[in-house]
Every structure is written in structure tokens, then in C-alpha cells.
Amino acid sequence: MTPLRVMVVDDSVSRREQLVSLVEGTRLATVVGTASDGAEAMRMLDSLRPDVITLDLEMPRLDGFSFLRLMMSTRPTPVIVVSSNNKRDAVFKALEFGALDFIAVPEGSLNENAHEALSQKLLSIRAVRSEHLAVQSPPPIVSRRVDPRGVYKKPASLVVIAASTGGPTALTKIVSQLEASSEYAVLIAQHMPGSFTGPFADRLNRYSAFEVREGVDGESIRGGTVLVCPGHQCMEVVDDANLRVRLRTPSLSERYVPSADRLLSAAAHAYGRRVVAVILTGMGDDGAKGARQVSQAGGRVLVESEATSVVYGMPRAALGEVPTSQSVPIHDMATWIERMVNIVGPR
């Protein structure tokens, strides 16, 4: 397998050296060039033609955000943002500017976790459809929303969404387009580090007519809410007096965290035909087995179409498990979700 060609862009000499060593150490890629800021990186793009770029966001002259805008309009290339844990808002802004993914690193030296994370990201790069990388305009801030408080009643149906690489942008598009409704709730399993899922939920909340937040163990699931699974845990659904969230530590056998398969399987067991499963862009097959259980329980399955998926791995796997799944482009997904909840909910 031909190694990926990587360009490292960072204004810190020591960080550039660490990243070069980290990239070469994965044995999946080779570094073809380094740049100290976005302006230098832009000059090198045409001659180096990298397959992937690791990018610092805070740099002199031309920062990471400006570089992303220029690069995506001239030569769209997968970008992995390398950022410290305390720069979460900047990371989500970079994803809107066209970055593919990110690695959260501690201040100072890159550690073993960064090596493993980079290896996983590089493995997914080969499946990326570069024509789907683009700068996204953030949705308008929502001032009016569903009020899920008051006397509790179980939602008529559940929408369970699974996503990985490319998921934050896809989820933002969907959640911002859903019309206000107290009849159903949305649960999300997005592969993301634990320190980022709370801020991600807060960001989604700005654009949604639903109340969006990170899920809490034991809380009741109410219509009009979107609950994001914490990144270091797995979410389940329990149906007793109330429909509730249960958070559990991932098992050693679970390759993906949060586990979409576990969430979808629990939702199918708890709510049967009243579940709509949605499998979005991502590498691997997480969500495929869970989608099959949703279908077997009488629920419906939607998968993001290949035409809009940044990485078609997860939707393809789900479609293989459930051939009757409806394949939907991301810009139509909210409409299809609303159509499906009207079908699967009690009539």
C-alpha cells in the first residue's frame, strides 16, 4: 500500500518535529513537507500535492482558518486539525471551515494517545471523498424552541443517529433543519473524545429548535430533546416507568466509542417499531448490526447516500445489513426523519 503524503503545518518548530516523527512512526504515511504558517503552506500545495494535511489553527500571517478557506476553494484536501483540549470551540469552527477531523492533544509533548488517534485518522483518509470537503456556512442561531419541561410523557418515537468521520458537520445540518416537535426525541452516538461531546452538544443547541445537550445517566428521555452520548461512555435506552438514558463504560471488545451498535440495539429492544435509525458518514461498520436489530423490531433505517457521505463506510455497512434501508442525501435527511417519525410513531 502506497504511503499517504502528509504536509505538516505548524508555527512551533518543536511541534513540527514531533508531528513528523508521529506521522512517520505510524508507517501509514510519509511527510513530504512542513510549513510554519498558512501562507507558506499555500505556496507549497501545488508542488507537494499532499494527500492529507495536519494543521495548527493559531499561526502568524495566515492562520489555520484563513488557510482552510483558501485551500478548500482551490485544492480541497483532507485536513486533520491538531489542537489542545482547551481549544474546543476553535476545533468545531475549523470543521465548519472544511477540516475533516481533529486530534485532541495535551499542551506540550504529543503522547501515545496522539499516536493512536493519528493512526486511526490516517486509516480513514483513503476512503475520504475529497469532492465532499467544503466550507460550510453555520446555520442561523435559533431563538424559539420546543420546551420539553412540564408533565412527563414518553415520546411517541425515537430517532437514533450514528456518525463518525465527517459527522459533526452532517449532524449540524440535520439538527438545524428539524422542525420543532415534542412528539419525538433524538439520541446521537458520534465518535468523539469525551472532553468534546459536551461543547459539541452546546454548539448544536445554538442552531436547533430542539433542546440539545449531553446525556446524563438515569435521566428521562423527553420529546423535543436531542441527547448526545458522552464521548468516553456508551448510551443505552431503558423503558420502565419512564423512557430513560443509561450510560455505561465501554467494554474491551467495543472498537468504537460511543458505540452506535449498543445504542441502536438498546433502542430497538426498548421501543421496537417506534425507532428510526439514521447512519451517517464514517469509517468502519459501527451501527450496522444495531440498524439490523432496529429493522427486525419493525423500525425504519435511513442511511446517508454515497453521493454526500465524506466517508461511505458506515452507511455502506448498514445498507449491507438492511437492504431495505432508504438511502438519503444529507440535505434531505431532516425531511426524511420527520416523514419516518410520523410513520413509526403510534397512530
Please give the C-alpha separations between residue 36 and each of 13, 17, 42, in angstroms, as whole numbers. Answer: 8, 11, 11
Active-site annotation holds for 164? yes
Of the candidates 83, 101, 286, 325, the residue annotated as catalytic is 286
- Provide the strand spans (E) within the chain: 4-9, 29-35, 52-55, 79-84, 101-105, 157-163, 184-190, 211-214, 225-228, 234-239, 243-248, 275-279, 300-304, 326-328
Contact 184, 158 (CB under 8 A): yes
Contact 201, 173 (CB under 8 A): no
Gap between the Cα atoms of 228 and 201, Å rounded: 6
Distance of CA 144 to the CA centre of its chain: 25
Active-site annotation holds for 309? no
Gap between the Cα atoms of 287 and 233, Å rounded: 16
Question: In one letter, which amino acid is 211?
Answer: E
Side by side, the strands of the sheet bearing 275-279 are 211-214, 225-228, 184-190, 157-163, 275-279, 300-304, 326-328
Q: Phi and psi dihedrals of 311, rounded to 5?
A: -130, 120
Distance of CA 196 to the CA centre of its chain: 11
Closest to 215 in 3D by CA, of 149, 200, 206: 200
Gap between the Cα atoms of 286 and 279, Å rounded: 9
Of the candidates 36, 164, 181, 265, the residue annotated as catalytic is 164
Cross-strand pairs, 247:
235
Active-site annotation holds for 182? no
Of the candidates 191, 208, 259, 261, the residue annotated as catalytic is 191
Q: Give the active site residues.
A: 164, 191, 286
